Every structure is written in C-alpha cells, then in structure tokens.
Amino acid sequence: MKEIALHLLDIVQNSVKAGASHVDIGFRLDDQGVLTMTVEDDGCGMSPEFVARVRSPFVTTRTTRKVGLGIPLLMQNAMQSGGNVEIESEVGKGTVISATFHTASIDCLPLGDLASTMATIIMGSPDRPEFSIICSSPAGEMSFSTEEIRPALEGVSLAEPEVVQWIQQSLQEEIEPILGGIMR
C-alpha cells in the first residue's frame, strides 16, 4: 500500500464483512507526531483463539483462498515506522483495531487521500453499516457521519455519483486543515 488511507479502505471491509451496524473511524495525530488510526465496529467479533492467530498472513475467514494480507500489510507498514497494531475483540460485541504510525520516521507512509477513501467506503456499503469518522490534531478536530446526512437524502442512495462526490469534496475541505501536514 502506498498510503495509510488505503489500509483504512482495506481494513474497514473486515468490519463490513463482520456484519457491523456501526463503524467508527478515528485518526488522531498527537503533538509528538504519532498518528493513531482506529477502526471500531460492533460486528460479530473474534474468539481469543482467532485473535491470537489473525496476524498471520495464512489466516483468513474467506474460503476461496488460504491467504489474507490485510492485517499483515497494515502491521508491516505501522511497524516499519516504529509503530504497532493492536487488536481487541469479543465475540458478539465487536472489534477494535488500532494502528500507530510515527509520522516523523522516513519510513512512514503518507496519510494519503483520506477523503477519497471515505467516499469509496461509503459508496461500497451505502445502506449499512453507518460510518463515522473523527480526525484530530493539534490544529483542530473534525467529525462526520453517514447518519447525519441520511435524513437529507431520503429516498436517495449514498452510492449515487453526486452524493459520493459531495462526500469526497466536503471531507477533503475539512480534513486538509487538520491532517494536511501528513497527507503527502
């Protein structure tokens, strides 16, 4: 992956497949330059045994192939910047995955186009789950959720091209002042 935002697009699909009804995404940049990406869902969760094995590239729930690279690739990129990945999960409750990136490291990926990722995520699952995102840094904070725009769109899918474009452009404008420094 060339961007942290692409890892988000990938990891969120695990939450969607887990049947989540809410997925809360967070990007928090602290004053030490450490970026924490969290994805919290209320999907089916994983057993402790499965959590213990889930970091392996040879563990996956899909039945068509025996490899699953989403989490291993995220770990590789977090760890090469000096960060880490933590996974907490409980069956029937959901999963929290958080990845830290030391953005001052030369080996840290850029954050990338988070607004396009969010637009793509929402377009891919327009009805369910509800997605929310919070971005914060010493420069400020922004938040957005699909629940807050749904009433204004009654009868119209979030996957309509005009809506997707609106989401992408609005988020871009709001995220840039907060996390623009680590985007590229």
Partner 1 sequence: MKSLAELEAIRKATLSKINVRTEEKGDTTRVVIGMATCGIAAGARPVMLAFMNEIQTRQLNHVTVSQTGCVGMCRLEPMVDVYLPGKEKVTYVHVKPEMVPRIVAEHIVNGRPVDEFTIGAAENA
Which residue, 67 or 104, has its beta carbon nearer to partner 1? Answer: 67
- For residues 109 and 101, is the Cβ–Cβ distance under 8 A? yes
At closest approach, how far in Å is the CB of 58 from partner 1? 14
Q: What is the dihedral of CA 155, 158, 164, 168, to 10 degrees?
A: 120
At closest approach, how far in Å is the CB of 6 from partner 1? 5
At closest approach, how far in Å is the CB of 124 from partner 1? 4
Structure tokens that stand for 134 in this block: 């919070």
Which residue, 33 or 110, has its beta carbon nearer to partner 1? Answer: 110
Closest CA to 166 of 149, 147, 183: 149
Which residue, 106 or 152, has its beta carbon nearer to partner 1? Answer: 152
Enumerate binding residues for partner 1 (CB under 8 A). 1-2, 6, 9-10, 13, 62, 64-65, 68-70, 73, 113, 116-117, 119-120, 123-124, 144, 149, 152-156, 159-166, 168-170, 173-174
Which residue, 52 or 159, has its beta carbon nearer to partner 1? Answer: 159
Which residue, 124 or 180, has its beta carbon nearer to partner 1? Answer: 124
At closest approach, how far in Å is the CB of 30 from partner 1? 26
Q: Give the whole-angstrom CA distance, residue 97 versus residue 23.
A: 11
Alpha-helical runs (H) found in 86-160? 114-124, 146-149
C-alpha dihedral sign at 63, 68, 70, 71: positive
At closest approach, how far in Å is the CB of 153 from partner 1? 5
Closest CA to 167 of 156, 178, 155: 156
